[in-house]
Amino acid sequence: MESQSVLATTCGELELRWGERTYVMGILNVTPDSFSGDGVGYDVKAAVARAKQLAEEGADIIDIGGESTRPASPPVSAEEELRRVIPVIERLAGELSVPMSIDTTKYEVARRALAAGARMLNDQWGLKGDPRLAELAVEWRVPIVLMSNQRDKGGYAAALKRDTADYADPITEIINSLKGSLKIAAEAGVPGENIIIDPGIGFGKSWQHDLEIIRRLGELTGLGKPILLGPSGKSFIGRVLDLPVSERLQGTAAAVAIGIAHGADMVRVHDVRQIVRVCRMSDAIIRRRQIGN
């Protein structure tokens, strides 16, 4: 596993020291239609309790999202997304022991979330939806996750019909996509140490592509940025194991462990307690991290 060009990134009070261990981002869906079935909808009390639970289970960052990214999910207006996420972030800002990330593609949602207490941006369109998110990253001096999203390449239905043979080279396409996002970020003045990349498992890729991404994840290390991997419960696991979302934990654990072996620095997951243990064991093997650290 190659070492990262970026040595450390500051996120709120947390210093992410890349290469020393794998960081865990816990998912908090403030939506009524999450694919994983764990969305808490408009219940602020339930959302706060869930966030605290994720932190207690070992999450390093809580990623809060108010718009479902499951395939074919209906779009949500900025006003509706704000109504879902801002009360939760405001409540958690003074009560949560770990930093919060806002999972959004919308400038106004990101701006309000940062003002409310979020300390990381997670953009599934890698600044290609709204480049102004880069300006917010600069203004607030926060890290930003840039994801490679191929849903604009004919959409999810088209991706399901592809196989790795007719999709010339998914890794090359992802790398080129991320290079475009990195260029936008650099032109906006985002410091290099504040950029994290994500290959975008499931976003416009077929299940075969997702397997290949994890298999060849190490090729992304050439971009010199920390890598976030988000395989949690996704459809490629269901296709391989023929299991519903509720029974995909072991498949997620396998994807996480192999992802770490191939260069993942952070993983975004639903089942934090179990995956923290997977990361700790993987780090002991791959990074030779001492037990107890």
Confirm whether 216 is a catalytic residue: no
Domain boundaries of the chain, sorted by first residue: 8-286
- Which strand (E) or helix (H) includes residue 123? strand 120-123
User: What is the spatial distance between Cα 113 and Cα 150, in angstroms, rounded to a whole number?
Assistant: 26
Q: pLDDT tens digit string along 201-253?
A: 998 888 999 999 999 999 999 999 999 999 999 999 999 999 999 999 999 99
pTM: 0.90
Statement: residue 161 has pLDDT above 70: no
Whole-number CA gyration radius for the chain: 17
Q: Give 94 or 108, the one with higher predicted confidence.
A: 108
Statement: residue 12 has pLDDT above 80: yes
Q: Which residue of the set 268, 273, 277, 280 is catalytic? A: 268
In percent, the amount of the chain with pLDDT more than 70 equals: 87
Our CA angle for 239, 37, 279, nearest 5°, is: 65
Confirm whether 234 is a catalytic residue: yes
Assigned CATH topology for domain 8-286: TIM Barrel (3.20.20)
Q: Which residue of the set 106, 234, 248, 289 is catalytic? A: 234
Determine the pLDDT at residue 114. 98
Statement: residue 39 has pLDDT above 80: no
Determine the pLDDT at residue 102. 98
What's the distance, CA 24 to chain centroid? 10
Residues 6 or more apart from 121 whose CB is under 8 A from it? 101, 102, 104, 110, 114, 133, 136, 137, 142, 143, 144, 145
Mean pLDDT score across all residues of the chain: 90
